[in-house]
Amino acid sequence: MALIQNIWVPGRQIFSLFFRSAILSLSLWSGHGLAAVENIYAGTLEGEVHFTGQKPRPTVMKVVKDQDHCGTKVSIQTVRLHGAYGALSDAVVTVEGMSTNPKPEKAQRPVLNMRCAFSPRISVARKGQEVEVRNQDPILHNTHIKYGRRTFLNVAQVPSGKPIIKRLKKSGLHAIQCDKHVFMQAYLHVFSHPFYTLTNQTGTFQIPDIPPGTHTIRVWHETLGILKKVVKIPQKGTTRIQFTYP
CATH number, domain containing residue 85: 2.60.40.420
pLDDT score, position 38? 44
For residue 37, being part of any structural domain is answered with no
Residues 131 and 11 in one domain: no
Angle, alpha carbons 119-122-126 (nearest 5°): 110
24 phi-psi bin (left φ>0, alpha ψ -120 to 50, beta other): alpha
User: Positive or negative, the Cα torsion across 34, 37, 38, 42?
Assistant: negative
Domain that holds residue 196: 43-245
pLDDT at 40: 57
The total number of structural domains that make up the chain: 2
pLDDT at residue 25, rounded to an integer: 39
Residues 74, 120, single domain; the answer is yes
202 and 110 in a common domain = yes
DSSP the chain: ---EEEEEETTEEEEEESSTHHHHHT-EEETTEEE-GGGTT-EEEEEEEEE-SSPPPPEEEE--S-HHHH-SEEEE--S-EETTTTEE-S-EEEETTPPP-SSPPP-PPPEEEESSSEESSEEEEETT-EEEEEE-SSS-EEEEEEETTEEEEEEEE-TTPPPEEEE--S-EEEEEE-SSSTT-EEEEEEESSS-EEE--TTSEEEEEEEPSEEEEEEEEETTTEEEEEEEEE-SSSEEEEEEEE-
pLDDT confidence of residue 74: 96
Instruction: Let me know whether 117 and 26 are in one domain.
Output: no
Same-domain status, 160 and 48: yes
The pLDDT value recorded for residue 26 is: 38
Low-confidence ranges of the chain (pLDDT < 70): 1-40, 100-107
